[in-house]
Structure 1
Amino acid sequence: MREFLDENTGGDEESGIDLTPMLDVVFIMLIFFIVTASFVKESGFDVNRPPNTQQPPKDDEVKNILVNVAADGQLFINRRPVDAAALVPNIKRLYAENPKGAVVIQAEDDSKNERLITVMDAARKAGVYNVSIASN
């Protein structure tokens, strides 16, 4: 039988595996995964960021009173150094200029809690009851 095959095929051809059906299956699987992947909804939430503008805030916008408590106990109102005794009058003045604003206290990690309580008490004495604490 071998002699018959060698005479008809010439005997020079090597026999091999036909990979065409396997490639067809792989392409069909690839198409299937591409189509199903486009319908997958990723979980999460949308973030609406404000537009990035370099313009100063408008006059009718609410301006908060920012009080920083440094690690060494020094106090700053809107980045200006302030003595603890002058805290109440300064907060009263800034709150009178913008009554919709709030007092935001930003304390450094190494600052004392005593200073934080002092600023909160000063805001209450100034008549501001909208006090927030911000973290670094």
Structure 2
Amino acid sequence: MRRNLASDERDDVEINLSPMIDMVFILLIFFIVTTVFVEETGVEVNKPEAAAAIQLEKNSILIAVTSDNKVIYGGRDIGISGVSPIVKRLTLQEDIPVIIQADEGASHGVFARVYGEAKLAGAKSINFSTKR
């Protein structure tokens, strides 16, 4: 048996969207928390080409040497003397590799001094970044 109700006797049917909104917020929080952000040095470096290359870890200390021999970390000029304290501080908790991005026109001496400072600070793995 079918029962027909007049339009004035029907209740309005509503869809409860609260659980869907909660689920969207939970997914949003999940994706924000699990996202890995790539750290950039803050300057554009013209890297030299290399014959062989390997993929490096995402979690690393990026230090750039520009063509005018400035040493940059996190977008600011730290100088050669600033490399050691930063590497010491960041490698205390875990062994994070150091990646040096040297410009093609940078002085080899400045690159060698940055490499030496990172080594003296206790970095176990020091790599340099090139074009692929």
What is the TM-score with the length of structure 1 in the denominator? 0.52
Once the two structures are superposed, residues 66-124 of structure 1 have per-residue CA deviations (whole angstroms, 9 ceiling, x without a partner) of 01000001001233321222221111112224x23100000011001011101110111
Task: Please show how residues 1-136 of structure 1 align to structure 2 within 5 Å.
Answer: 56-57=35-36, 63-97=59-93, 99-136=94-131
Contact kept, 8 Å, 1:68 with 1:79, in 2: the verdict is no
Contact kept, 8 Å, 2:95 with 2:124, in 1: the verdict is no
How many residues get paired?
81
Greater helix fraction, Structure 1 or Structure 2: 1
Deviates more, 1:79-88 or 1:99-108: 79-88
Give me the CA root mean square deviation: 2.5
| Bigger Rg, structure 1 or 2 | 1
Query: Could you say which structure has the greater relative contact order, defined with CA pairs below 8 angstroms and 6 or more residues apart?
Result: 2
Provide runs of 4+ in structure 1 moved above 6 Å: none
1:74 aligned partner, one-letter code: K
> 2-side partners of 1:56 and 1:112: how far apart?
36
Residue segments in structure 2 that go unaligned for 5+ positions in a row: 1-30, 38-56
Q: What is the identity percentage for the equivalent residue pairs of Structure 1 and Structure 2?
A: 22
